[in-house]
Amino acid sequence: MVFNSVVFVVFFSIVYLLYWSVCQRNLKLQNFFIMVASYVFYGWWDWRFLLLIAFTSLCSWGCGYFIQKADNQPTAYKPSYRKILNISNIVLNLGILGIFKYFNFFVDSFVSAFASAGIFLNPRTLNIILPVGISFYTFQALSYSIDVYKRKIEATRDIVAFFAFVGFFPQLVAGPIERATNLLPQFYVKRNFNYDDISKGLKLILWGFFMKVAIADRLSVYVDSVYNNAAFHTGTSLALATLFFTFQVYCDFGGYSSIAIGCGRLLGFRCMTNFNRPFLAVSLNDFWKRWHISLTTWFRDYVYFPMGGNRGSTSRNYFNMMVTFLLSGIWHGANMTFVVWGGLSGLFQVIAKLFDTAKEKIWKKSSQSKSGILKRVFDTLFTFSIIAFSMVIFRSNNIDDAILIIKKIFQFKGALFTNNIDSIIYGSALIIILMISDILQETNSGVHYFLDSKNRGVRYATYLTLVLTILLIGVFDNSQFIYFQF
């Protein structure tokens, strides 16, 4: 079941009522109920995958438990024993992820490489379905065992709380990728009904549906019609479709994250922020601090820093950065487009570090002057342009399509495809509204200017406007979220 479906609305309503009426007085019952509800939610796609998430959870819980036990029992072999446990769990979980998500991709790539050399192979591939959200809950489970190994947190003996943490259904299939340091301790404390949580949660859900159904799914009508037939469209149409897709993926995933965080808030949990107005970023480094924050910080803490981060020579720093972005690209999916996108994003990040030095010689630093304002606008537009360009690779069905689309965009000629004129008009208008909202939040310390207004009339007018926009402009026959495939 997906968030923007009647089935989920019914499911969550039942969970919400039972959670606060039957389970409120007992912490263990609350956690057990969350675990059961999460497994029902995940099993709705395919009950067989419940064994997979249960096994992943059990392995990471067991790893943390025995690492902690080794710490409490002095032994000459403790350091190596702890390391063996940690590495074994990492290899096991990533091995499972690799088989389900990447086995056929690597086999096909291997065959293609040999074919280019005139050697033709006929290997076997696996006919398996990719489990929904496997990349998200695998990384979430791994972060726990790694943090226990690094002694950042204490291992939990409460297996029900841990299973509920890994399988927490609001953010199970598409994040945010929660850290045990943030979410797991919330399962140790009984949640109490709180009006402020309900109010904030409902606002987040409403805004999330606006981003997903009204903006992302409206834009997807035009994007899909152009990108899926790239050879028959002009550079003008492809440029507009690329612009639309850049906002589509933001609103699709940002909308999901907002709904997920809102649902968690309704149940008394505070999940981490996953998007922070990324298209107002003034540099690529700033962008990656605002975009898919839970994933970028995961790769930073568990890949980039362990490799050395920005310590050492400049060349070593650039190498660490490239490897991190390449792995991030591979994480997104078993397609060469994601590998190239990850590598290109890393290359842009390296170039941006070199460019920043030269750029500062041109623009004055003062944010109080007109040149400071001009610099901010230039930096924001420049950063957005780079991100939008990289989205061509991200969205293309294959590398050949990506090359064709880029060639046509740089030619930028031909008539605009206007068969979906309503999506062009509505999409453009809603993008403007979204950016105005983000700008107002940016200048208002992150507080939503309209949804959180102290004026009751403004708040209720905003609620009504968003609901009517979703119902009148929203697209309801595109229920899938883009990041579910990851």
Tell me whether residue 455 is exposed, middle or buried, using C-beta atoms within 10 angstroms of its C-beta: 0 to 12, 13 to 18, 19 or more.
Answer: exposed
Residue 5 confidence class, pLDDT cut points 50, 70, 90? confident
Helix/strand/coil percent split, the chain, to 5: 70, 0, 30
Global pTM?
A: 0.90
pLDDT at 383 over 60: yes
pLDDT of 127: 64
- The mean pLDDT value of the chain amounts to 88
SS3 218: helix
pLDDT tens column, 135-152 = 899 999 999 999 999 999
Mean pLDDT of 35-54: 91
pLDDT at 77 over 70: no
Distance CA 167, CA 42 (A): 8
pLDDT tens column, 391-440 = 999 999 999 999 999 999 998 888 888 888 988 999 999 999 999 999 99
pLDDT at 371 over 70: no
Here the tokens at position 238 are 């492809």
Considering only residues 18 and 107, tell me which one the structure prediction assigns the higher pLDDT: 18
Query: Shortest CA distance to 52 belongs to which of 170, 131, 145?
Result: 131
Contacts of 13 (CB under 8 A, 6+ apart): none
pLDDT of 480: 73
SS3 353: helix
Q: Report which secondary-structure segment, H or E, holds 371.
A: helix 370-395
Query: Shortest CA distance to 265 belongs to which of 448, 19, 68?
Result: 19
Determine the residue type at 149: Y
pLDDT tens column, 115-136 = 556 665 566 655 667 788 888 9
Distance CA 403, CA 399 (A): 6
Considering only residues 196 and 370, tell me which one the structure prediction assigns the higher pLDDT: 196
Distance CA 305, CA 300 (A): 6
pLDDT of 460: 93
pLDDT tens column, 432-479 = 999 999 999 998 888 888 898 888 999 999 999 999 999 999 888 766
Scanning 127-211, the segments in alpha helix (DSSP H) are 134-149, 159-166, 195-209
Considering only residues 422 and 484, tell me which one the structure prediction assigns the higher pLDDT: 422
pLDDT of 70: 84
Mean pLDDT of 178-200: 93
What percent of the chain clears pLDDT 90, i.e. is strictly above it?
Answer: 64
Residue 283, phi-psi category: left (phi > 0), alpha (psi -120 to 50), beta (remainder): beta
Distance CA 368, CA 161 (A): 50
User: Which residues are part of the catalytic machinery?
Assistant: 332
pLDDT at 108 over 70: no
SS3 77: coil
CA dihedral 141, 144, 148, 152 (to 10 degrees): 160
Measured CA to CA in angstroms, residue 82 lies from 61, 67, 301, 485 at distances of: 14, 5, 19, 34
pLDDT tens column, 285-330 = 999 999 999 999 999 999 999 998 888 788 888 899 999 999 999 9
Mean pLDDT of 184-211: 94
Considering only residues 218 and 24, tell me which one the structure prediction assigns the higher pLDDT: 218
What percent of the chain clears pLDDT 70, i.e. is strictly above it?
Answer: 89
Contacts of 118 (CB under 8 A, 6+ apart): none
Measured CA to CA in angstroms, residue 100 lies from 97, 106, 133 at distances of: 5, 12, 12
Contact 17, 266 (CB under 8 A): no
The one-character DSSP state at 230 is G
So where are the chain's domains?
A: 6-190, 197-485
pLDDT of 366: 46
pLDDT at 59 over 50: yes
pLDDT of 391: 95
Contacts of 400 (CB under 8 A, 6+ apart): none
pLDDT tens column, 319-370 = 999 999 999 999 988 788 999 999 999 999 988 877 765 555 555 454 444 5
pLDDT tens column, 211-232 = 999 999 999 999 999 999 988 9
pLDDT tens column, 222-269 = 999 999 998 899 999 999 999 999 999 999 999 999 999 999 999 999
SS3 373: helix
**Neighbouring C-beta atoms of residue 268, cutoff 10 Å:** 20
pLDDT at 27 over 70: yes
pLDDT of 468: 95
